[in-house]
Structure 1
């Protein structure tokens, strides 16, 4: 559902009657529903930043999680309703940088890294830079890579490791200062993983119109039950498993190639 964009070319205002003739060519529109979801994700990321500044780290973590849900929804809605656009793709990237770059970096900095001084803010900056560069690389490679895989850890997944760790430890009453030197290693490591050439499964080939075995539905029910029992720890487990599955699968592929080469040599 398109709505008219308010942006106009300022130079056209001086063209008189010519502007009136050419105006329809300059009027642009954006699709409402997917961009509304993207705006909601942007708002969730902004709210997380405000909550982190106010010291409400659990709310800040939950806000980033909500941004992840909305970020996953906007692209799928756009594809299902055939409302993809270049504007939407660029807007989504800017929203992602806010929600999955700045918000988690500020969250972990406020919670744990601030007392470390320079090493703390440098670690947080590496994460932000990793997210920004990861998004830029994704945009230029989107038509050149297999959509079944991400090249490097996706920024929402990287943010997931951060907010799930903070939420889980804060929920247990662990002070961020007590684990500051652990976080000063983990945070830039996640930033580096976003820029790595390691492939991660994207789940983009799983659509709502595709039939799946019945046990898949039962597995989803089980996941919801586990989340309900202990949300922060279950989310942390999912985030860590996903972050590690890429390196593990790369190691498996390397071993298979090595064995195949050895068999050829024999």
Structure 2
């Protein structure tokens, strides 16, 4: 799903919720190499998962086991069900979930090895800092975080760093889904509203599999609720709905950072920023995740 406001800052704020948003903007690019870096795509394709989406669904769904489309539609939230069904469960005839986990780790690690060359010590320190916060998370109500958290934490620094950022981002993502559901938004409505505010429709609709008819129907539902204006722009109520969702997402993501404190948060920002910038070079902006471009 598109995630928090791409205009979000990486300035250290005082509240745990604000710190959670700041940290997301820094650890998400490290995780996201698994979707954008060529080494990650090559790992899946070399194993017979041709095309981007087979690898995407295999790697991200693998912690759930050999599931069909329904749990993935629920957990991933913003994908059109037919798009998910084209990949699942058919991909499990090509690779097992266990093999998919190996492939995603190998691809992510190879990506980080290239992107973070010269930052090895910082990457090791970041892994040491993030792994305990990811390992101690409560998975109640957070399916993807719990599934990824049940996997063994690797010992190798780059693998450990990537796994920690993955657990943390899925933890935040699970909370984001809960906030969207509480706001009465479905997957297509969420994308339609974001497209009316800050993310290009071209980055959202085709990459999540919604047809023009489904997109238009979502627009009509949002118009009826007063969240979109007749010209397709977001109303004040629509923007406030997204602000409410993002605030709830931040609150739901604050637990890993509650004991960090302002000085600890500032230190972690200084440590993660060059890593995020380096990994950001493999991403495109804007992107369907909504992650902001990291800057020094």
- TM-score after normalising by structure 1: 0.28
Between structures 1 and 2, the one with greater helix share: 1
More strand by share: 1
Q: Which one has more relative contact order, counting CA pairs under 8 Å at least 6 apart?
A: 2
Rg comparison, structure with higher value: 1
